[in-house]
Structure 1
Amino acid sequence: MQVATSPLTTAPNRVTLWSALTSVYFLWGSTYLFIHFMTERMPPLYMASLRYIIAGTLLYGYARLTGTPRATRTEWKSAGIVGILLLTVANGCLTLALQYIPTGVAALLGGLLPVFLLTLNWASFARKRPTNLALVGLVIGLTGIYFLVKPDKLQGTGGLHANLIGAGLVTFGNFAWAVGTLLAPRVSLPSGTISSGIQMLVGGFVLLAISLCVEPVTPWSILDAPTKAVGSMFYLVVFGSIIGFSSYAWLARNASPQLLSTYAFVNPVVAMLLGVTFAGELFSSQSLLGAVIALVGVILITLGRK
């Protein structure tokens, strides 16, 4: 899948567009559960760094073997900055947050991402006001998120303090992700596959450096990891990073911010269903109502995209 090297000028193929959206909607919705499994008994930043280093090596190697030209120094720098924002900061914050709050709650808090995407795109990047229908969809979607994570339902395993830490980490990660997403079409990036590979390599190695400084690990600690953690990491490498992230990178260059932001409303629904089924998390009738409302917001934002 190729990432354009210039801002969107023509409409993307609809089959490719919706295939990429479906991938981001459902595969990324499952990553919350597998991040939880991956870090149950292993340091979170260390495991996240290995996930991206492995995935980045595979993507970069595939791109070069199939004839993709080498990236220039400028392209390496641009892709590296985007990778640090998306993977080191945003995904690192999410991985840490899952040590404090349940997977479903983390995914639901991720529903705040469209606020940053649409607001930053309006106020700073494109200075383009979203359509009225998209704004209505955003409000409805956030209303659904409110019902999903109503304060009196925000119960983690570590009490109020842990909830605040987890929610703060996810919120800061959302901000970094929105900046990286909106920056991507405005910098010089190489073609899609090699760009994703560079982003993962740079983001992963920066994350590894941080992990080695703050976590009790060595570069070879993976040899002591339990089978469940290793298996979850490879699921995330293939489905979360190689397929899911590459799809997102393509969408960041070929879809409007309104349409791209809709995945943050679908992911929580997928994550909550998986959390209920495999992690024993609660899914109340209020949560079901919130999920339905959030999906209505998705539809309106999609219809309201420019």
Structure 2
Amino acid sequence: MVLFNYILMCLIFGTTFLSIKVGVDAGAPPFFSAGIRFLMAGSILFLWMVSRGKAKFSLLLRKEMLLTGTGLTFATFAALYWSEQYLSSGIAAVLSATGPLMVLLLQSCINRQKLSVSSLVGCLTGFSGVVLLLLPGILGTSFSKLWIIGCIAILLSELFYSAGAVYSSRVIQRFQGISPIALNAAQMMYGGAMLLFLSLFTEKVHMKSILTTSAILSLLYLIIAGSMVAHTIFYWLVAKTNPVFPATWLYISPLIALCLGAVLYHEPITLLSVIGGIIIIIGTIMVNINNLKHLIGRRTKESNL
């Protein structure tokens, strides 16, 4: 059951980037689409947790939910949705995989700790992969400033994601009596509300573009599968295994997204981009090599008992 849910989670997370691209290309305003997605998904999950007695409405009044929602949802997905107007879903997914690298760098700065050799090499490897990934767009004959800005926006958004991730780990410890699913739902609600507020001042929402078949199916998939099912499976896996194992989806899903975008949506892909994407994933694995060794050792020990 654990393996099945893990594979399902990786597949869902790997398809969300293409689903975002489909919705944006259909004409759905990016900030509005993202806001509706997270506000609705967060509200449904939160009400479900309240009905089960695992959360209280007073949780929504805590500033921690606002701050976490700002980093993990608002800043991260505002940039991702906007950028996918100009980037392929595969490139967006691979660039998003730099999040763990930035989490490590931020943690080392906060704790004033020197990076281990494997972590330092992993960071350098990962960011060299970013350079390779960007080279085809920079050197190509159809150079686009918006393409470059989109790439930079996603990389900057991962800085906000890393800040939100580091802060949320402390929030979870602070609210140990509350389910992580409820905490995640609350921050999604705040992030979604902020995205809608941003849309109010920056976008013109036309009902015709929102009510197209592609836009509706994209939104429903992202709400139900991307934000509710996948995240619930993630926290279920955390409870059944440990925090490290479920997070390894970050090594698999970006490559799934890259392949799906090329095969199903005919997105342009170059050999250099593929190599850059693989190098980014390798760098991310190297950064987390100690945690992965601990996980493998623990699983081996458990299987021998």
Judging changes above 3 Å, is the alpha-carbon distance between structure 1 residues 207 and 248 closer, same or farther for their aligned structure 2 residues? farther
1:271 to partner: Cα distance: 1.2
* Counterpart AA for 2:109: A
Look up the match of 1:99.
85
TM-score (normalizing by structure 1) = 0.79
Is structure 2 residue 180 aligned with structure 1 residue 196? Answer: no
Q: Residue by residue, what CA displacement relative to the aligned partner does 1:126-167 show, whole Å, maximum 9, x if unpaired? A: 4444543344344444444444x1413458998421122201
CA contact (8 A) 1:131 1:304 kept: no
Among 266, 283, 296, the residue aligned to 1:280: 266
1:288 to partner: Cα distance: 4.1
Residue correspondence of structure 1 range 45-60 to structure 2 within 5 A: 45-60=31-46
Among 148, 160, 170, the residue aligned to 1:164: 148
Among 184, 198, 203, the residue aligned to 1:210: 198
* Counterpart AA for 2:220: F
* Counterpart AA for 1:266: I
How far apart in 1 are the matches of 2:107 and 2:169? 12
1:241 to partner: Cα distance: 0.7
How far apart in 2 are the matches of 1:194 and 1:282? 39
Q: Residue by residue, what CA displacement relative to the aligned partner does 1:249-305 show, whole Å, maximum 9, x if unpaired? A: 68899636xx78754443321111011111111333334444544454454444322
Look up the match of 1:4.
none
TM-score (normalizing by structure 2) = 0.79
Judging changes above 3 Å, is the alpha-carbon distance between structure 1 residues 224 and 240 closer, same or farther for their aligned structure 2 residues? closer
How far apart in 2 are the matches of 1:155 and 1:191? 48
Bigger fraction of residues in helix: 2
CA contact (8 A) 2:41 2:228 kept: yes
* Counterpart AA for 2:54: T
Look up the match of 1:179.
163
* Counterpart AA for 1:119: L
CA contact (8 A) 1:100 1:156 kept: no
How far apart in 2 are the matches of 1:182 and 1:67? 27
Judging changes above 3 Å, is the alpha-carbon distance between structure 1 residues 205 and 291 closer, same or farther for their aligned structure 2 residues? closer
* Counterpart AA for 2:162: A
Q: Give the SS at the match of 2:98.
A: helix
Look up the match of 1:39.
24
1:247 to partner: Cα distance: 5.2
1:46 to partner: Cα distance: 0.6
1:245 to partner: Cα distance: 3.5
1:213 to partner: Cα distance: 1.6
Judging changes above 3 Å, is the alpha-carbon distance between structure 1 residues 82 and 128 closer, same or farther for their aligned structure 2 residues? same
Look up the match of 1:152.
136
Q: Give the SS at the match of 1:162.
A: helix
Q: Give the SS at the match of 2:165.
A: helix
* Counterpart AA for 1:285: L
Task: Please say which of residues 130-139 and 151-160 is displaced more in the overlay.
Answer: 151-160
Can you give the 5+ residue segments of structure 2 that lack an aligned partner in the other structure? Answer: 295-305
State the identity %. Answer: 25
How far apart in 1 are the matches of 2:220 and 2:81? 16
1:81 to partner: Cα distance: 1.4
CA contact (8 A) 1:133 1:303 kept: yes
1:100 to partner: Cα distance: 1.7
* Counterpart AA for 2:215: A
Look up the match of 2:14.
29
Judging changes above 3 Å, is the alpha-carbon distance between structure 1 residues 158 and 166 closer, same or farther for their aligned structure 2 residues? farther
CA contact (8 A) 2:41 2:224 kept: yes
Judging changes above 3 Å, is the alpha-carbon distance between structure 1 residues 286 and 19 closer, same or farther for their aligned structure 2 residues? same
1:242 to partner: Cα distance: 1.1
Is structure 2 residue 71 aligned with structure 1 residue 85? Answer: yes
Among 124, 129, 132, the residue aligned to 2:117: 132
How far apart in 2 are the matches of 1:186 and 1:60? 20
Is structure 2 residue 220 aligned with structure 1 residue 228? Answer: no
CA RMSD of aligned residues (A): 3.3
Q: Residue by residue, what CA displacement relative to the aligned partner does 1:89-139 show, whole Å, maximum 9, x if unpaired? A: 111110001112221221222233233111101011x44445433443444
Look up the match of 2:299.
none
Look up the match of 1:7.
none
1:65 to partner: Cα distance: 1.4
Can you give the 5+ residue segments of structure 1 that lack an aligned partner in the other structure? Answer: 1-14
Look up the match of 2:104.
118
